[in-house]
Structure 1
Amino acid sequence: MSVLRALRQVSASSSRAVARSAVRSGPLRLATVQLAPRASMTVARAFSASACRFSEGSTDVVLSQKLAEELKYEKEAVADAPEEPEFLKTFKEQGIWEIQDVAGNDEVTLIRKFGNETIRMMFSIADIQSAEEEPEYEQEEGEGGEDQPLHSYPVRTSFSITKGNGKGSINIDTMCQEGAFIIDNMSYYPDAQLGTELTAEADWKRRGLYIGPQFDTLDVSVQEEIEKWVQERGIDESLAMFVPEYSEYKEQKEYVRWLDNVKNFVDA
């Protein structure tokens, strides 16, 4: 990531954090609003022909203006940036992982084939959002004495590995941070569907199963071989560098979309 992009992200995150903090500390207390009795409200509607339409409150205009200002700022900040950043273009050109990213969702899925195996990886941009109030970057000295931005926040990732014969599933929970995947746990499910389904029922069934020991309690030699096995499947340093980069990219797009949607709703 370029220094310019890193500084821009810090600036944007800081401004949003201040704004959100201000909103939280503001005088508005919805819980203290006292509603009039239903009968009184009916009478008021009947005899207030000149009143504003139901959705038009006294704060609508100001809120819409503030949302428009924030939206303008965010769009101007990336006005000169290419529609598809270089890091994403390079990742796609490698042709290893397929990206499944649904607009409006906070989760991203990457899928690839490895022999007769299907590997799915999932991560969420929620980790980016929760890290906004913490320092997002640490500095390390690079070549020529220049400071290079280093991702300091962790992104939780989950991998599922299934085989074409449909017998079983290996699930791996990791923490992606500073260009590496740190394995927390490696689970085995005899039913591949149970190990990969993202339903409440499947989640409930998984809770009663033994998911294996904590990874760092395994014999060191076993840990090393599992790490080699995982890396051979493309769960490596290059992927670990891509995940936080893409998380920031998606979070920015979703934030702009959120601003636009909220403003349109207020204006409607």
Structure 2
Amino acid sequence: MSAVRALRQFSAVSSRVSCARVAGLSARSRLASVARPVAVSRAFSASARTSGQGTTDGALSNKLSEELKYETQAVEAAPAVPEFLKKFKEQNVWEIEDLPLHDEVTLSRKFGNEKFVNTFRSLRLMFSIVDIRAEEEEDFEGEEAVAEEDEDHEHEALNVYPLRASLSITKDGITGALTVDMSCQEGQFMVDNVSFYRDGKLATELTAEADWKRRGLYMGPQFETLDIGLQEELEKFLQERGVNESVALFIPEYAEWKEQAEYVKWLDSVKEFVDA
């Protein structure tokens, strides 16, 4: 979500309602309300439109047009390839697999004999932008305090919520697969669970049938219950394969950037449907 949209929403609500109502703002509005303060003024035309079949269609179309205009301006004002993404690609370690109109993003790479299995790179780190929208609500006081932080703390303020991620590791000529369920938060990966699948295909397939089969399997103990020494060695194992602080910082930034792009597409699609 863009800082422009959230700032407009936050300012308008703050001047009209009590703190109790502000505390109920959506996750989308609250997440970006702490971003860069941008002074924006807008003119809104409530003129009726002859679109759609209902009496409310015109007003909805106008509102969608208004939102789409400001979101598009925010996207156009930003560089086509943001600096954080440019730097990440320059490292030439992970490939980004990102399909438009999809929630999930995959980072993939090869390592040693962990190369290609069924045309896929054998290290596949998947995350979703859904967690941005599902972020738990904070109280107004906490939101107001974060909004007053200076620009140097902006990155930290935006990425304090966890984003779930799942890593799958396969090896050339080996049928099994290792999966690691974790979350990234504040530049760190926190491992929840490490599982081993004797059938590597079952571990990597994203079909409903595969998901159903996985439910009956033993997934291993919770990571925090393992011996401390074993935890440390597993963490070193992941670090060596590039699952590190750099990637943990990249994922939330990319998720926010993608969410903004998908939101603009969503606005455009909904408006086109309403106007039809």
Q: Do the aligned partners of 1:120 and 1:159 also contact (CA within 8 Å) in 2?
A: yes
Look up the SS of the partner of 2:229 in the other structure.
helix
- For the residue of structure 2 that corresponds to 1:99, the secondary structure is strand
Cα distance in 1 between the residues matched to 2:148 and 2:112: 38
TM-score between the two structures when normalised by the length of structure 2: 0.75
Runs of 4+ in 1 over 6 A off after TM superposition: 15-18, 139-142
Q: Is 1:77 aligned to 2:74, yes or no?
A: yes
Tell me which amino acid in the other structure corresponds to 2:232: E
Larger CA deviation: 165-174 vs 180-189: 165-174
Aligned residue type for 2:82: P
Higher relative contact order (Cα pairs below 8 Å, separated by 6+ residues): 2
Distance change (3 Å), C-alpha of 1:99 and 1:116: same
Task: Give the structure with higher Rg (CA).
Answer: 1
Aligned to 1:31: none
Partner in structure 1 of residue 132 of structure 2: 128
What is the CA distance between 1:95 and its match in structure 2?
1.1
Residues 48-67 of structure 1: CA distance to partner in whole angstroms, max 9, x if unpaired?
xxxxx995111111110000
* TM-score w.r.t. length of structure 1: 0.77
Percent identity between the aligned chains?
56
8 Å CA contact 1:64, 1:263 repeated in 2: yes
Q: Within 5 A, what are the aligned runs for 1:48-127?
A: 55-117=52-114, 118-127=122-131
**Would the alpha carbon gap of residues 92 and 153 (structure 1) be closer, same or farther in structure 2, given more than 3 Å must change?**
same
Q: Relative to 1, partners in 2 of residues 1:237 and 1:264: Cα closer, same or farther, differing over 3 Å?
A: same
1:11 corresponds, among 7, 11, 20, to: 7
Alpha-carbon displacement from aligned partner over 1:246-267 (angstroms, at most 9, x marks no partner): 0000000000000000001111
Indicate the SS of the match to 1:104: coil
Structure 2 contact 129–255 (Cα < 8 Å) conserved: yes
Shift of 1:130: 1.4
Please give the alpha-carbon distance, in whole angstroms, between the structure 1 residues aligned to 2:82 and 2:162: 22
Partners of 1:139 and 1:149 within 8 A in 2 = no
Shift of 1:7: 5.2
List aligned pairs for 1:202-241, cutoff 5 A: 202-241=210-249
What letter matches 2:66 in structure 1? E
Cα distance in 2 for residues equivalent to 1:102 and 1:162: 23
Q: How many residues end up aligned between the 2 structures? A: 232
Report the RMSD for the aligned CA atoms in angstroms.
Answer: 3.2
Counterpart amino acid of residue 98 in structure 1? E
Kindly tell me: are residues 70 and 148 of structure 1, through their superposed partners in 2, closer, same or farther at Cα, counting changes over 3 Å? closer
C-alpha spacing 1:75/1:198, structure 2 compared with 1 (3 Å):
same
SS of corresponding position for 1:228: helix
Moved more, 69-78 or 222-231: 69-78
Structure 2 residue runs without a partner (length 5+): 14-20, 27-49, 115-121
Q: 1:87 to 1:9 in 2, by over 3 A?
A: farther
More strand by share: 1
Q: Within 5 Å, which residues of 2 pair with 1:222-261?
A: 222-261=230-269
What SS does the corresponding residue of 1:185 show, helix, strand or coil? strand
Matched residue type, 1:149: H
Distance apart, 1:131 and its partner CA: 1.9
SS at match of 1:84: coil
